[in-house]
Chain A
Amino acid sequence: MRIETSVRAVASPAAPPLSRPKGLWALLVIVVAMAALPLIASTYTLTLMVPFFGFAIALLGFNLLFGYTGLLSFGHAMFLGVGAYATAVLTSKLGVRSFELVLLTAIAVSALIALPVGYLCVRYTRIFFGMLTLAFGMLFHSILFKFYGLTGGDQGMRVVRPLLFGMDSAGGKTAFLTGPFYYYALGLLAVLGFVMWRIVRSPFGLHLQAIRENAQKASYLGVQVSRTRLAAFVISAIYGAVGGAILAVSIGLADPEMVYWTQSGNLVFMAVLGGSGSFVGPVIGGLAFVLLHDSVMAATQYWRFVMGAILVLLVIFFPRGIAGIAGDVVARFRKGS
């Protein structure tokens, strides 16, 4: 019964992300593919990829909360907004064009907002957490409209092209977005992806998963439930703000639409589409969403209907998302070989 080593080598079915490094490999594959994409893809495709990088970063944060901690936020677009409006205010109102400074500001502001908001929200779970975050998201959206003079209300707020590492670039907007900014945003995704990988595989990340699985039991094993949840909330807000800053630059605008609750819904959609149960799933979901959105919108005016139908089918037939399907395919392939 106890021939440990041999049994252990064979028996490790469906291990969660923590025990296997495949999530990092998958992320690396995506990053390398994206780095090579400018060699083959059209300019149009490349302009689609920049928002994908923004969403991917935001989704890595979103999923720390959703997939790992078990808290489904319906207000996460708020933090996209924090990043976007920080970018707009700094570049167009305050004349600060260094994107590094913009990012640092976005990070600081999002953390400052996430602390009190998170402090209130993480005391609740399930639908109550979702409703509270939704409410805060709506509140934030309405505040944007209240301060029309600063934020431009529904007009949004222009974003001036930022300096990357202090350097301006020649050429038009498209050249900037598909050239230097493309690689800059991709680099951010790679770095923040690696950092998130470290986080989810740390003892802290393990405590998050223990909280998701059984908060009461976790507390008796010394897990500081509220404090750990709050830390996850703040980290995910920071990732959201960085993603939002990238989105704002790619659109050239801090758009109130980006903060609206439907955008929070899109984040949930992307995470579920890709599979919130795996590390890289939401990133894949972000890519799939951007491509789907683009092609479905080009093909039919009923794109919302088509996207909704896809979500329904997915939840019913493939609850583990694209990453889950891919995992099954890989597993079957391995078994066959």
Chain B
Amino acid sequence: MQDTTLLLSLTVLALAGFYAGRGRALALVGGPARGRRLHSLPGYYGMFLAMWCLLPPLTLLLAWSLFEGRVITLMLIEGLPDAQRSMSAGELNLLVNNIQNLAVGDAVSVEIDAVLREASSRYRLLQAESRRLLTVLCLGLATLGAVSAWRRIRPEFRARNRVESTVEFFLLLASSIAVLTTIGIVMSVLFEALRFFQQVSIVDFLFGLNWSPQTAIREDQVGSSGSFGIVPLLTGTLLITVIAMLVAVPVGLMSAIYLAEYSSQKVRAAAKPMLEILAGIPTVVYGFFAALTVAPWVRDAGEAIGLDVASESALAAGLVMGIMIIPLVSSLSDDAIKAVPGDMREGALALGATRSEAMTGVILPAALPGIVGGTLLALSRAIGETMIVVMAAGLAANLTANPFEAVTTVTVQIVTLLVGDQEFDSAKTLAAFALGLVLFVVTMTLNVVGLNFVRRYREQYE
């Protein structure tokens, strides 16, 4: 039986189970009129039965499709003649591939001989056998589940609680997927970074002032040992982020104040969507805007007043990045300001405060946790931003605080480390994981600090 047919019949069974369960519950108390004698609504008994009808076979189906391929391959190899079984792992793999291809009628890379033909027909047989077994087991499990659920239905049986705890279990499962993925990513980054630290000392990495990750591919190349000092990258990131925040926070906050307090409905209705459009522009577009428009403009402007500005400068990248995160700051601050109860504002106005006095003296302090939270989010966004920096600030790892020079950031270096040819276990590649770990720790700390801040003050204000 095909998978779809199997699923379909399971669904039909479950549906039938639902009505059977409901009917049985009602029958036990003597008809729908007496439905109130049941512990739960009749539908819950139906769902309980349907659940037992559906969940065990589905679990089996899932496990089966995970392991079926591997088990069949093992059995296939088991049945091959000794000559083939003693082949190397690679050759054996190729052979199995060919057998499978032949079985489904795909192109085969070697001449088809008797062994291959025999094996492929055996493979087809094994597969058919497995399907048949699966179908029987699934339908059997469904029936078994249904019958045992059916026998447990009693008027005082707490079907609703059972159904709800099952639902709860699936909610838990869904949320644990996010958690597990995060843990998995962190673990893999951590382990790769540890491998990196076996090659490069962690002290050199964290406190080195020089970043030039060129390691030799061949022994006789010059510059065979790269240097992995992260300090220039951190200062570059810091520089660009600071410039970006200097642009985004004042502009975003002021536009939020204007929108929330002063603008008329019409202006607000027009400006809000505009800001959202600004937020929706892909960063690569900002990137070439930065590289082709802002960076030359910054250089020309600098030259006009007699400054020496590189054509790729931290200033250009920071400015554009600031523009990029204005909508984030502005819309989160706007939400925070709007969330302050209107009677605070009225209270201030009734005391004779002007609108701006009410804003600065009462509303902004009350909205501060939300605003700080939004700003920290924007900060994480700025630190993680890559595209604009690649295009506008360059790749040179200069250790400088001068915004007119080219700098580079942690994220940009991760990208450059991983494009191009190198071995996966070279220090150069592994350095990317170490950088990723640093980035993760920094943004994580920011988020924790931000959340704590928000929580502490929110408790006070509500």
A and B are interacting partners: no
- Report A's interface with B, CB cutoff 8 A: none
